[in-house]
Amino acid sequence: MFGLAHLLGIQLMPRMRNWNKVTMYRPDKNIRYQNIDGWFTRTINWDLLLEYWQDLMQVVLSIHKGKVLPSWLL
């Protein structure tokens, strides 16, 4: 969701009520974050992202042109 928002030029600032139920992804298994590293339990699947990149871009362009409402996708 954050990636899609970024492509649309939207800065998401969500309020997270239950941080213990959120899954955080790191870009690479070797990357570490000081003080918050324990939150990152999974790694981004870049191959999956590349596989669906064209579909993602089609959605972004459709939303940007006003052909599809973002709420329809959710």
pLDDT of residue 33: 94
pLDDT of residue 74: 65
Q: 2: phi > 0 → left, psi -120 to 50 → alpha, else beta; which?
A: alpha
pLDDT of residue 35: 94
**pLDDT beneath 70, residues of the chain:** 74
pTM: 0.65
